[in-house]
Amino acid sequence: MAIEFTLNGKRQSVDVVPQMPLLWVLRDTLGLTGTKFGCGMALCGACTVHINGQPTRSCTLPISMVAGKSVTTIEGLSADNTHPIQKAWIDVDVPQCGYCQSGQIMSAAALLAKKANPSDGDIDEAMRGNICRCGTYQEIREAIHRAAQYAKGGTR
Amino acid sequence: MNRRHFLKSTAVATGGLVLGFYLPDKLEAAVEPNNPGAKLNAWVHISPDDTVTLAIHKAEMGQGTVTSLAMLLAEELECDWNKIKTEFPGVDPEFGPVQGVVGSQSIRSSFDLLRKTGAAAREMLVSAAAQKWNVNVSDCRAENNAVVNTKTNARLSYGSLAEAASKLPVPAAPMMKDPSKFRIVGKPMKRRDTPMKVNGSAGFALDMKLPGMLYAVVARSAAFGGKITSFDATKAKAVPGVKNVVQISNGVAVVADNTWAAIEGRKALQLQVDDGPRGTTTSASIRKTFMDLAAKPGAVAHNEGNVEMAMAGAAKKIEAIYEAPYLAHSPMEPLNCTAHVTANSCDIWTGSQMQTAAQQAGMRITGLPADKVQIHTTFLGGGFGRRARVDFISEAIEVSKAVGVPVKLTWTREDDTQQDFYRPASYTTFAAGLDAQGWPVAWNARVVCPSFSGLRDGVDRTGVEGIPEVYEVPNMHVEYHPPDVGIPVSFWRSVGYSQNTFFTESFIDEMAAASGKDPLEFRRRLLAKQPRLLGVLNLAAEKIGWNTPPPAGRFRGIGLSPNVGSFEAQIAEISVNQGKVRVHRVVCAVDCGYTVNPATIVHQVRGGIVFGLTAALKGAITIDRGRVEQSNFNNYEMLRIDEMPVIDVYIVPSTQRVGGMGELSVPGTAPAVTNAIFKATGKRIRQLPIRLTNLA
């Protein structure tokens, strides 16, 4: 049975097993591979997307639960790397291997949408679900603070 | 003399590197029809539109090779940084006998080679321009992707010169720049791969998709050395999306039209498994094997002076036993490989740290010659040594061969945690004799650590590295035992130093404490003949302000190591509250000789410290019934952002030969933290990971 939802602002319909996690629908069925598989148990955050604006682990979310909702993936964050989080990520040169960064960026973007000027404690709270094995945490923290400045129209 | 011959003789003269320059008869094959232009050598391809494509013959797993190697080429080639493209070439003997990325070698092994390659290409372009203008090459200068006629100021773009240049002889000894003239190398450069890593477009192997491709996962024996003796695939085949179930040498592959269906199908497999001869192995039985060996003399790995005599005459003796556990690599991108095997071709898309071995696996499994087995290198979502193994690549090739279509084979996180080639566990006994003034006169070590890189006179150097070569002690004796307990082991970021630096830096701290001496002063004296180690230690001490007390409730500890041709010293600042360790700050000084990209160095040092801290605080792979007990990030935990210390990195300016960086800062972290814990609590941590219950 077809399941309908909004994906990066466009209507999307998929006909898959209802238990299939959103992650694999995005990656294997729809070919949106920016969202990553890391653990399959919502432990590492690599698969983070926004569901109705909320950061959500897509690896454990059955596609049936997404029906009628709005999904934003890393591909939908901006058309041209201009989201303040992406700009800050580029300016701080955050990624190393880069594999976890889609999830880091989606978590950070959700944090910034909720708190315009997050404290270090806010960053810890919002980002501790995202593992980076390369250890880019110091750069991630710096980039989130910087993105908060950009979002307010601050100087670079 | 043909070109290859010509260059090979050059290569021998410069230290055995095979400089594989382009052979003219391969031009047509090498240049794609939709990408016309000329290849000046294996690394440099210039298009008529002036784009310079540089081949990155290593792999990018976060260590910044795409940027750093491009910097080396671009510097000597005098090209416009903004007109450069990079690509990962296939396996080609022109890139050397073994194409791979291990041992923090990318820059070390490429520094002279790529500069020379860039300079040779530049001289060919200059010669082509000189011929067109009919002037001497001394009247021409390369700058910013063009050759300038210094008399007339006429310019010819590289794009317009490339074809003519490609037909010229390759200079044997091109003139390289004086490093003082570098405008790219040595400057902090932004990573070339960042923009594509912030929007999901960077291509990792797991993102591969080919027409008609199927998705596979493999069921394997959970116990090491065990095997699946029979299986019933009826229920697996009933899972929607499952297309096929095939036996391969490593286990049983479930092939489906998406990854999730393959995973679900694997759950439904009914397997008969023989756990094999190691099926009763436990961590306790392994430890007992190690302890029994530690009671017996081992192969002599190092001997200096006469430890027995010196020990007999020592005023004070101290002994300690140190232990480190097995560790998994846990790259964030689970292992995976896409393979497409046909009757006369084998294409492999993967993130490998050992492309040559990947190609050999393809040749072995398909029977095809090297030129029919193409390795397509993607970005690696972390490697840390795990991706130098090709087991997962062999599996994908076998499955594609069996089912006759392209197959993407994916390991789940559980597979990754439980079927790794682990950092070996180690059990090491130390004894030291101190003289009346408290200085060490004798050091005895016996290392019990599984071997994976071959024994020479009974010793695997990776098992003992980091113990004998650091401190000046007049009498030193190191023995080694390689127990075979059936747990697969291999290279893990910083290899033997990852455990041995924890042991030696802790034991040196024990000696200093037993002598009542300041651990910094104690080390300084014993490092008198190690100027570069002393240099990083002094810089770290200066930057943290060792002589000024830390903030109330905080304590400092030191760890240092020489490894991968470079030097690191770290000082950690920690607190202990109710049995919980908090690492607030780490100051790290490094000396890696000549620096290529200082920005990358800072990031790699921080990353290495996080890697070391994760192991120190959390890492332990334990064994029961011959299999790994941990499975995912809930029971094999990683450091997270809320536990991240502030890390300050300082680079010792140096014109020494360029050293490695990717692994450098892993070893010093654990002892810096545990030595600080000793300062805070008086308790000596001799086993990793740090058990918090011992500190309450």
Q: What is the rounded distance in angstroms from the CA atom of residue A107 to the CA atom of residue A123?
A: 10
Tokens of B442: 């004798």
Please indicate, yes or no, if residue B416 is contained in any of the structural domains.
no
Pairing of strands B566-577, B555-563: antiparallel
- Of the candidates B463, B491, B666, the one whose C-alpha atom is nearest the C-alpha of residue B566 is B666
Q: What is the structure's pLDDT at B22?
A: 32
HSE-CB for A74 with a 13 A CA cutoff: 36
Buried b (16+ CB within 10 A) or exposed e, B66-84: bbbbbbbbbbbbbbbbebb
Taking the model in full, what pTM does it have? 0.94
Q: Would an 8 Å CB–CB cutoff place A130 in contact with chain B?
A: yes
Please report, for the domain that includes residue B248, its CATH number: 3.30.365.10
Is A21 within 8 Å of chain B by CB? yes
Buried b (16+ CB within 10 A) or exposed e, B319-355: ebebbbbbbbbbbbbbbbbbbbbeeeebbbbbbbbbb
Same domain, B482 and B357: no
> Structure tokens of B187?
């400057």
Dihedral of CA B548/B550/B553/B558: which sign?
Answer: negative
**Cis omega (within 30 of 0) for bond into B240:** no
**Whether B74 and B143 share a structural domain:** yes
Asked whether the beta carbons of residue A98 and residue B201 sit closer than 8 angstroms, the reply is no
Q: How confident is the model at residue B96 (pLDDT cuts 50, 70, 90)?
A: confident
B261 and chain A in contact, CB less than 8 A = yes
Question: Is the Cβ of A20 closer than 8 Å to some Cβ of chain B?
Answer: yes
d(CA B90, CA B70): 17
Give B71's contacts (C-beta < 8 A, 6+ positions apart): B184, B185, B189, B596, B597
Asked if ipTM goes beyond 0.90, one says: yes
DSSP secondary structure letters along B190-237: --TTHHHHTTT-S-BGGG---TT-EEEEEE--SSTT-EEEEEE-HHHH
Give B233 to chain A, closest Cα distance, Å.
20
Is A11 contained in some domain?
Answer: yes
Q: What is the CA radius of gyration of chain B?
A: 27
Residue A65 sits in the same domain as residue A94? no
* Residues B259 and B315 both lie in one domain: no
Can you name the residues that pair with B244 across neighbouring β-strands?
Answer: B255
| Model confidence pLDDT, tens digit, residues B169-222 | 999 999 999 999 999 999 999 999 999 999 999 999 999 999 999 999 999 999
Residues A6 and A63 in one domain: yes
**Mean of per-residue pLDDT scores for chain A:** 96
Give the SS3 label for residue B367: coil
Taking 50 as the threshold, does the pLDDT of residue B1 lie above it? no
Task: Count the neighbouring beta carbons within 10 Å of the beta carbon of residue B655.
Answer: 10
B36 — pLDDT class (breaks 50, 70, 90): low
Nearest to B199 among A21, A38, A86 (CB): A86
**B526 and B649 belong to one structural domain:** yes
Strand ranges of the sheet holding B146-149, from the earlier edge strand across to the other edge: B140-143, B146-149, B155-157
Position B239 in a domain? yes
Co-location of B23 and B157 in the same domain: yes
A120 in the same domain as A67:
no
| A10 shares its domain with A43 | yes
The reported pLDDT for the residue numbered A102 is 98
B228-283 pLDDT tens trace: 999 999 999 999 999 999 999 999 999 999 999 999 999 999 999 999 999 999 99
Q: Considering its fold, how many domains does chain B have in total?
A: 3
Asked if A128 reaches chain B (Cβ–Cβ under 8 Å), the answer is yes
Mean predicted lDDT score pLDDT of chain B: 93
Q: Within this chain, do residues A128 and A88 fall inside the same structural domain, yes or no?
A: yes
d(CA B578, CA B444): 36
- A138–chain B Cβ distance below 8 A for any pair: yes
Residue B21 vs residues B52, B110, B118, B177, B430: alpha-carbon distances, Å: 16, 15, 11, 20, 52
Are B259 and A132 an interchain contact pair (Cβ–Cβ within 8 Å)? Answer: no
Same domain, A7 and A71: yes
B170 and B86 in a common domain: yes
Q: Among candidates B346, B337, B390, B398, which has minimal Cα distance to B369?
A: B346
Rounded CA separation B273/B28 (Å): 53
Average pLDDT of the segment spanning B653-669 = 96
Residue B446 forms part of a structural domain: yes
- The angle formed by the CA atoms of residues B533, B497 and B15, to the nearest 5 degrees, is 70
Q: Which residues contact B13 (CB under 8 A, 6 or more apart)?
A: none
Tell me if chain B has a CB within 8 Å of the CB of A72: no
Strand ranges across the sheet with A54-57: A10-15, A2-7, A70-72, A48-51, A54-57
Q: Are A141 and A92 in contact (CB under 8 A)?
A: no
- Tell if the CB–CB gap between B194 and A90 is shorter than 8 Å: yes
A with B: how many residue pairs have Cβ under 8 Å apart? 187
Structural domain span for residue A108? 84-151
How would you classify the pairing of strands B146-149 and B140-143? antiparallel
Q: Which helix (H) or strand (E) holds B46?
A: strand B44-46
Choose one of B410, B442, B474: the last residue of a domain. Answer: B410
B62, B258, B640: residue with CB nearest A29: B258
pLDDT at position B629: 98
- Residue A133 resides in a domain: yes
pLDDT tens track for B291-320: 999 999 999 999 999 999 999 999 999 999
Report how far residue B555's alpha carbon sits from residue B574's, in angstroms, rounded to the nearest whole number. 5
Which of B4-18, B467-481, B519-533 is predicted with the least confidence, judged by mean pLDDT?
B4-18
Question: Same structural domain for residues B432 and B387?
Answer: no
Element (H, E) at B431: strand B426-434
Which of B88, B336, B395 shows the shortest CA–CA distance to B207? B336
A48 in a structural domain: yes
Q: Does residue B417 lie in a domain region?
A: no
Q: Answer whether residue A156 is part of any domain.
A: no
Cβ-based contacts of B632 with chain A (< 8 Å)? 39-41, 43
Tell me the two tokens of residue B236. Answer: 């697996």
Q: Which of B32-46, B99-113, B487-501 has the least mean pLDDT?
A: B32-46
Residue B5 burial (C-beta neighbours within 10 Å; 0-12, 13-18, 19+)? exposed
CATH code at A116? 1.10.150.120
Give the structural domain span for B133: 3-189
Q: Which amino acid is at B286?
A: I
CA-CA distance, B572 to B305, in Å (whole number)? Answer: 34
Residue B392 belongs to a domain: yes
Q: Give the integer Cα–Cα distance in Å for B122 and B127.
A: 9
Res. B8 pLDDT band, cuts 50 70 90: very low
Q: pLDDT tens across A91-119, in order? A: 999 999 999 999 999 999 999 999 999 99
Any CB–CB contact under 8 A between A4 and chain B?
A: no
Task: Single out the residue in B189, B213, B237 at which a domain terminates.
Answer: B189
By the 10 Å C-beta count (0-12 exposed, 13-18 middle, 19+ buried), B131 is classed as middle
Identify the CA nearest to B384 among candidates B537, B297, B531, B498: B498
DSSP string, B268-333: H-EEEEE--TTTT--HHHHHHHHHHHHTS--EEEEEES-HHHHHHT-SEEEEEEEEE-BB----SS
**Residue B14 domain-assigned (yes or no):** yes
- The verdict on B349 and B239 lying in the same domain is yes
Does residue B404 share a domain with residue B552?
no
In a domain, A102, yes or no: yes
Residues A70 and A102 in one domain: no
CA atoms within 13 A on the CB side of B637: 13
Average pLDDT over residues B347-369: 97
Instruction: Name the domain count of chain A.
Output: 2
Task: Over range B512-518, report the average pLDDT.
Answer: 98
pLDDT band at B9 (very low <50, low <70, confident <90, very high): very low
Q: For residues B19-30, give the mean pLDDT.
A: 30
Kindly report the length of chain B. Answer: 696
For residues A116 and A91, state if they share a domain: yes
Above 80 in pLDDT, residue A154? no
Last residue of one domain, picked from the residues B163, B189, B215? B189
Would residue B415 count as lying in a domain?
A: no
B490, B428, B511, B510: which is closest to B464 by C-alpha? Answer: B428
Using CA atoms, how far residue B476 sits from B314, B472, B505, B646, in Å, is 13, 9, 16, 37
Task: Clarify whether residues A6 and A66 are in a common domain.
Answer: yes
| Paired sense of beta strands A70-72 and A48-51, if any | antiparallel
Strand partners, B481: B448
CA dihedral sign, ordered A8, A149, A133, B187: positive
Query: Is B687 in CB contact (< 8 Å) with chain A?
Result: no
Instruction: Evaluate whether B278 touches A48 at the Cβ level (below 8 Å).
Output: no
Which of B509, B426, B495, B429 minimizes the C-alpha distance to B462?
A: B495
- Domain containing A30 — which CATH number? 3.10.20.30
The conformational region for residue B587 under phi > 0 = left, psi -120 to 50 = alpha, else beta, is: beta
pLDDT digit string, tens, across residues B576-628 = 998 899 999 999 999 999 999 999 999 999 999 999 999 999 999 999 999 99
CB contact under 8 A, B603 and A46: no
Closest CA to B427 of B300, B290, B327: B290
B35 DSSP assignment: S
Residue the block writes with tokens 């290859």 = B4
Residue B413: its chain A contacts at CB < 8 A?
38-41, 44
Nearest neighbour of B641 by CB, restricted to A31, A39, A123: A123
Instruction: Report yes or no on A128 lying in a domain.
Output: yes
The residue among A76, A103, A131 that closes a domain is A76
Contact B571, B536 (CB under 8 A): no
